[in-house]
Every structure is written in C-alpha cells, then in structure tokens.
Amino acid sequence: MTLMLGKIALTPPVILAPMAGITDLPFRQIVARFGAGLVVSEMVASEDMMRAQPLARARAELGIAEGATSVQLAGRDPHWMAEAARYLQGQGARIIDINMGCPAKRVTAAGGNGACGSALMKEPDLALRLIEAVAAAVDLPVTLKTRLGWDDESLNAPQIAAMAEGAGVQMITIHGRTRCQFYKGSANWAAIAAVKAAVSVPVIANGDIVDAATAAQALAQSGADGVMLGRGAQGAPWRLAQIAHALFAAPAPVVPRGADLADLIVEHYQLILGFYGRDLGLRVARKHLGWYLDEAGLTAQRDPILTATNPEQVIRLIRATFAQAQEVAA
C-alpha cells in the first residue's frame, strides 16, 4: 500500500514518530535502512532555529534531501513558522510537519516562546493561522500531528483536522490520547475514526503501537490509512519493517542477532559520536545502548556498558556481551 504526499510516495504507510532527544539523524538513518515509509525529525522550535540556536539547528539536521524524511516544526507565531518552513525548503526538506500534539509542560506552558504543541488545540483560530502560514510559505507537502484534544471535554481533533485539510494539509496523524492524559492509560484508537470521517486526506494512527499486532488493532479500530510508532522502535530499529511486512506485504527485514547485532549497535554508537562529538555523544548514546540491551534480554549487562566513558572500551564491551549471549543461546 502506498500513500502519496504530492509526488512523494510513502511505501509502506508505517512511519517513525518524532521523539525529542531520540529521533536524531543517526537513529533515523538506522531505522530507514531497515525500511520505513517515512521518518520524522525531532520537534524543531521554529523561532529558535531561525535565531540560529545551535540545538534547534542540530535537530533539523536531516540528511535533509533524503526522500523519506519529514521535518517537524513547533511554534505559535505564524511569522516564525513560515520563515522556518521556507528555510527548510531551501535546505532541501521534502515534507514539513506541524506539531500540535506534544504534551510536555515545557512546550505547552505559556513561558518562553509561548504555549505550543497540543496547547494549540485550545486555540483553533491560531492553529489555523499557523497552518495557513506554513502551507502558503512552501511548495512542499505539509502534514499535521495532533492529539484527540486538550482533555475529555474538548475532543476537537475532527474539527481541527477538517480546518487543516481546508488550509492545504495533506496528511494528519492523531495520537489516540488527549493532552491531559500525557501517556497514561491506553490510546483510544477508535476515537481516531471521527477524524478519518471528517477528512479525505490520509489519516495516521499513533499511540501504543509497538508491534504488528497492535498496529493491526489500531488500523481496525480507527480506519486509519497507516500507523506511526515511536517507543516500539527503541532498541529495535527493524520494528517498522516488521510491521510493514506483516500488514502491507513489504519485504521481511533481516533482524540481526549475536555478532551482527553487535556490529549494528557499534555502528549506531559511532554515528552518534560523530554527530554530537565525543562528550555529548557519550551521554546521548547511553539511552540507545540501554534499549538495545533491554530488547536483547541483556538488562543485567547494562551497568558496565552504560557507565564506561571510553568509546573503545564501550565497543569492546558491546562485542563481548553479544558474543557471550550468542554462545549461551547456541
């Protein structure tokens, strides 16, 4: 199955979610290698990026001309959102995604650059102006990611989705929780069906999708055209390809084991160090190494690897740990 965003084909419609501090360029490259219809950057603060804040620019470092990458912008000022979108188009971006789903307090609070993310669902008129500004600024597909609403008393995702489609948005992703739920409870995939009924553009289901079984349930309950997952890919960058194989007849990924898995982890580790530099890279890499160990059932081996501060030692420990695990399995 293929979804079209302008001339860009999303095949299959299995998408890596934007996750702050996680879906950086190294991780997206590893996921994309196994197979994904689309990978989305970390949320980029539009005004910070245009004011040349280094962290914001790093989050927008995309391998930007890659066809299966989308840049997610956040903000509440139509001017800065439009300027950031223009800048990214000039840098080679292929798709712009607008964040109206992040529930984090630092994003939704009124301090700093103002309430952004899912807080915009409380201000649908402003949300529409932001969408219109971005869509008018670029000749690229523009997509939108939201939640069901701010809380259970304001489930206005269908109304915002319909406005967004009218303003030119070409795909809408819905996380099946309200902002006030954060990540508590379970995602309400069935509630996404109201959004699907309100628009004619593709709708993507998100929230609690961690494998092929939950992806199939989300599609069945929501009627959505595809799925987006984030946490399910942590420590398992092949997970999207597994889902694509099970549900959309894509080729089955070769999931690495033993020494092959160690090679993949070492490559990812070295990409992180190269991207961030040694000192920051060591800190960023720890969470990914921990997830790989957890996924492999090697949680007991976390401490030596995650506390080592010499990259060469970390690499030796990774290879020794997975070689030993392969011997035990044999």
d(Cα 146, Cα 122) in Å, to the nearest integer?
12
Q: Which two tokens stand for residue 86?
A: 């223009």
180 is catalytic: no
- How many other β-carbons are positioned within 10 Å of the β-carbon of residue 82? 22
Query: How many degrees, rounded to 5, is the angle at CA 169 between CA 167 and CA 174?
Result: 120
d(Cα 173, Cα 203) in Å, to the nearest integer?
6
Cβ–Cβ < 8 Å for 67, 113: no
Nearest Cα neighbor of 171 from 133, 144, 207 is: 144
Q: What are the b/e assignments for 175-187, b being 16+ CB within 10 Å?
A: bbbbbebeeeeeb
Cβ–Cβ < 8 Å for 96, 88: yes
Q: To which residue do tokens 């030796």 refer?
A: 316
- 3-state SS class at 172: strand
Q: Residues 31, 102, 140, 229: which is the catalytic one?
A: 102
The residues assigned a catalytic role are 102
